[in-house]
A and B are shown apart, each in its own frame.
Chain A
Amino acid sequence: MIAAILRRMEPQEIDALVAAGLAALDLPADEATRKGVAMHAARLAHMSRLVLAIPLADDIESPEVFEP
């Protein structure tokens, strides 16, 4: 969904989204950072389309990592 939104968004809207995300994580949000992060975010959004396109049954769980 966000990938689709990113595709539809104007550059200034993407910039605002990235700026808000960086602020939420208390990360620096200067212009160079916002541009660099936006480029990588677009790449991740493209990757997510490939993954989210595959239907997964409700009972598929994440592979176990933590063992009590």
Chain B
Amino acid sequence: MMERIAATDLATAIRAGGVSAEAAVTQCLARIALTGSKVHAFTGVWPDEARAAAREIDQRRAAGEALPPLAGVPFAVKDLFDVAGHVTLAGSKINRDNPPAAEDAFLVAQMKRAGAICVGATNMGEYAYDFVTENQHYGATHNPHRAGHTAGGSSGGSAAAVAAGLVPLALGSDTNGSIRVPASYCGVYGLRPTQGGLSRRGAFPFVASLDNVGPFAATLADLSLAFDALQGRDPADPHQRSPKPGGRVSMIRAARLTGFFQDNATDEVNARVEKFCAAMKVTATAEWPHADAARAAAFMISAAEGGALHLERLQKRAADFEPDRAHRLMAGALQPAAWVQQAHRFRARFREWVREAFRHADVFIAPATPWTAPAHGTATLKLNGRDVPAAASGGILTQPVSFIGLPVIAAPLPRGEGEMPIGVQLIAAPWREDLLFAFANQAVREGALA
């Protein structure tokens, strides 16, 4: 695996003139060309546009202009974000027939405004309904840490690109765990912000009630830098909400989530989370009631809304979907309306229970995935004494959290020689990303995070 490049270091070097943006982009493109086939993180690479954008940054610097914070830093986008002039595939065969996007997605535009340079689009699960990125139309993305193992999904290409050192930053989407699962499997940082915090405009939808977007980075500092760059009010996104800043917290109270979150992780994963808690001197534990039902409700809502979204495509072009994806979406569309409505109503109830839990802790800690990255094609894995479907269960620990729109950082735990990466979810109350970053910073300083 290649050495990772930190966005913060690269941006500083470019601003200082130590390296040109064009050289940085050229090196990034060379890395992609060199390891592209091994990891298969990208579905499209755009060297000419990237070099042109880099030259523009270099000209601005030569003219004495103050450069924005990510000037010259290469980034990649999950192939569901619109990038002007390119067809947004969303991991599907069907979307190939769409015209190129007329304008950049809001987040892509924000990254470019901050000076970052888009080098290409990354592979993903078909229509983002996936935790493994074993895409039958565009090929499987491989885990950079172990060939033949999944990178996770559905933003697998973005996580793998960052983990392999191909780009320092990437964008992804997370409906049920599609940032956190690949971040965990690939050993990188990923952020799912508070629901409604970032604009979703120009990101191909999946489940309107749950869809969210966010960044991947190799370091916590880079994740913070990217999150800052992505901020911005978008009047054209009806889903976006105004932040509700919380009060000052003198000491962050953290608690480890047990019950569902412990029962649905392997012994190896639980041991590594315990080690993290010990390093952070976290002794408190907490249980969220009915987390299993929260996961189930998220599962049902996703199937229903996804099935409805794709209904016309399923009617007209079912054969152009991956077969299992089509069947899942169809089953979702067939659900009785009363089930789905109860799942939505339960969402409101679950939110109240978890709000109550936040009276006793500011940050909750839970594994991001039940296991380390499985081998491609793994059908079932043992969990809590049961055989469970490996692909669909990758998000079992992320779904109850995103179900109620909480902000989460998926952060990589330290690993010993030969160990595969595993991530921990750091979970805060809505709009308290500040607490997440403060706690994670402390963990980095303590050596409790990789």
Residues of A within 8 A of B (CB): 2, 18, 21-22, 25-28, 32-33, 36-41, 43-44, 47-48, 50-54, 56, 60-63, 65, 67
**Knowing that A48-B335, A50-B293, A56-B342 are A-B contacts, what are 4 other residue pairs whose CB atoms are under 8 Å apart, sorted by A's residue number?**
A2-B339, A36-B326, A37-B331, A60-B348
- CA A56 to CA B311, docked complex, whole Å: 30
- CA A48 to CA B324, docked complex, whole Å: 20
Q: Determine whether the beta carbon of B332 is less than 8 Å from that of A44.
A: yes
B327 within 8 A of A: yes
CB distance from B386 to the nearest CB of A (A): 12
Residue ID in chain B nearest A36 by CB atoms: B327
* Contact A41-B292, Cβ < 8 Å, known A51-B346, A62-B341, A62-B345: no
Q: Which residues of B contact A22 (CB under 8 A)?
A: 330, 334
B303 within 8 A of A: yes
Q: Determine whether the beta carbon of A25 is less than 8 Å from that of B345.
A: no
Q: Which residues of B contact A43 (CB under 8 A)?
A: 331, 392
Q: Which residues of A contact B146 (CB under 8 A)?
A: none
* Contact A48-B345, Cβ < 8 Å, known A27-B314, A41-B334: no
- CA A53 to CA B331, docked complex, whole Å: 21
Q: Determine whether the beta carbon of A48 is less than 8 Å from that of B331.
A: no
Q: Which residues of A contact B342 (CB under 8 A)?
A: 48, 51-52, 56
Residues of B within 8 A of A (CB): 208-209, 238-239, 290, 292-293, 296-297, 299-300, 303, 311, 314-315, 318, 323-324, 326-328, 330-336, 339, 341-349, 351, 392
Chain B interface mostly helix, strand, loop or mixed?
Answer: helix
CB distance from B282 to the nearest CB of A (A): 29
Q: Which of B290, B323, B331, B332 has the most CB of A within 10 A?
A: B331
Q: Determine whether the beta carbon of A54 is less than 8 Å from that of B318.
A: no
Residue ID in chain A nearest B238 by CB atoms: A67
- CA A48 to CA B107, docked complex, whole Å: 35
Q: Determine whether the beta carbon of B328 is less than 8 Å from that of A40.
A: yes
* Contact A33-B347, Cβ < 8 Å, known A44-B332, A47-B296, A48-B296: no
Q: Which residues of A contact B392 (CB under 8 A)?
A: 43
Q: Which of A18, A32, A56 contacts B345 (CB 8 A)?
A: A56
Q: Determine whether the beta carbon of A63 is less than 8 Å from that of B334.
A: no
- CA A28 to CA B332, docked complex, whole Å: 15
CB distance from A4 to the nearest CB of B (A): 13
CB distance from B354 to the nearest CB of A (A): 13
- CA A53 to CA B293, docked complex, whole Å: 9
Q: Which residues of B contact A65 (CB under 8 A)?
A: 208-209, 239
Q: Which residues of A contact B327 (CB under 8 A)?
A: 33, 36-37, 39-40
Q: Which residues of B contact A63 (CB under 8 A)?
A: 209, 344, 347-348, 351
Q: Determine whether the beta carbon of A37 is less than 8 Å from that of B290.
A: no
Q: Which of A25, A52, A54 contacts B334 (CB 8 A)?
A: A25
Q: Determine whether the beta carbon of B343 is less than 8 Å from that of A51.
A: yes
29 A-B interface contacts by CB (under 8 A):
A2-B339, A22-B334, A27-B314, A27-B333, A33-B318, A36-B330, A37-B327, A37-B330, A40-B303, A40-B328, A40-B332, A41-B331, A41-B335, A44-B339, A47-B297, A47-B299, A48-B339, A50-B290, A50-B292, A51-B342, A51-B346, A54-B293, A54-B346, A56-B345, A60-B348, A60-B349, A62-B345, A63-B209, A65-B208
Q: Which of A22, A36, A47, A51 has the most CB of B within 10 A?
A: A51
- CA A29 to CA B330, docked complex, whole Å: 10
* Contact A50-B296, Cβ < 8 Å, known A60-B345, A63-B344: yes
Q: Which residues of A contact B311 (CB under 8 A)?
A: 25, 27
Residue ID in chain A nearest B196 by CB atoms: A65
Q: Determine whether the beta carbon of A21 is less than 8 Å from that of B334.
A: yes
Q: Which residues of A contact B341 (CB under 8 A)?
A: 62
Q: Which residues of B contact A2 (CB under 8 A)?
A: 336, 339
Q: Which residues of B contact A60 (CB under 8 A)?
A: 345, 348-349
The 10 closest A-B pairs by CB, nearest first: A36-B327, A40-B331, A47-B296, A62-B344, A50-B296, A21-B334, A41-B331, A50-B293, A48-B339, A37-B330
Q: Determine whether the beta carbon of B326 is less than 8 Å from that of A33.
A: yes
CB distance from A53 to the nearest CB of B (A): 7
Q: Which residues of B contact A18 (CB under 8 A)?
A: 334
